[in-house]
Amino acid sequence: MQVIKMEEVHLTEPLSLAIGFFDGLHLGHMSLINEVLKYKGETKTAVMSFDVHPLCVLKGEKRQSIITLEEKKELLEEMGIDYLLVIHFTKEVAALSPQAFIDEYLNKLPLKRLVCGYDFHFGNHNSGSIEDLKKQSFELIVKNAVMYNETAKVSSTLIKKLMDQGMIEEVNTLLDRPYKVKGTVIHGKQRGRLIGFPTLNIDYGMKYLPKRGVYGTIVEINHQYYIGMANIGMNPTFNDINRLSLEVNVFDFDEDVYGKEVEVTFYLYKREETVFNGLEGLKVQLTEDRKYLSQVMKKYLSQVMKKYLTLYKNNVQ
């Protein structure tokens, strides 16, 4: 898959294109992308998105994301999309009239068909709508919402709400993949090592973290996979940090990986964050957590290994 900045685009072959920010690549977004993939072979397939969330530019918000741009690239490539077309979002882009936006970013492409959601808006103050797109020369396909239940649609907002409740298995269903956080191992307080539970402290950047508590995870380190027990929280027993931490006790692993990038994949929520009366109470609870997770996470590790071996064999072939 090619990643192309819109100011540098020079495509000539007919395109089927899905447009949106795709800030989660969840089931709702996938309905648009799968529609585009129906035309693979007849046309080239593409996704158009912004490099940053519009509200980061318009309101100066520091938004934690469900998916990073790099993750978006990886997933779209796995799905077989030919091009990811990236708009550098600025206040000037936001101020474009609907038709100016269409002329600048759509009509300059060899666009045969455009796929978007029923509620897609664009242009100055989001004044552009489906009706503006219907007036253009390309074919327009409008997809309805994918519903979570009778009243709520699948959306990034809904997924964040579920994450806030620790409903990580439900989140994974709506994403159609396990939730992942990739980050660099940094130095922490190193208390875990004192009680036999050394942890990797992960710099998670601007990724959105689930509810505080303990989770069953699979951790990828140097292309090897391990069961891990992740804790998200503020260390309330000691109360000496000012930002949520992500720490992972990796089972059957004891190597120095400071400065290396690891990937933590969340599968289940074990318990809430708890205040303990000192290190001994914490050690007793962690022992119970580890015993439980070492058993229930085996099936997930097996699934990951099967997928990894399949991808490896396909790449070798």
> Mean pLDDT in each 10-residue stretch from start to end of the chain (317 residues)?
93 96 93 97 96 80 86 94 94 94 95 96 92 95 94 94 97 96 86 77 94 96 94 72 86 92 96 82 90 94 80 59
The three-class DSSP label of residue 9 is coil
**113 strand-pairing partners:** 16, 139
Q: Do 182 and 266 touch, CB atoms closer than 8 A?
A: no
Position 184 scores a pLDDT of 96
Which positions ≥6 away from 73 have C-beta within 8 Å? 1, 3, 84
Position 316 scores a pLDDT of 55
Element (H, E) at 38: none
Position 61 scores a pLDDT of 74
Position 311 scores a pLDDT of 63
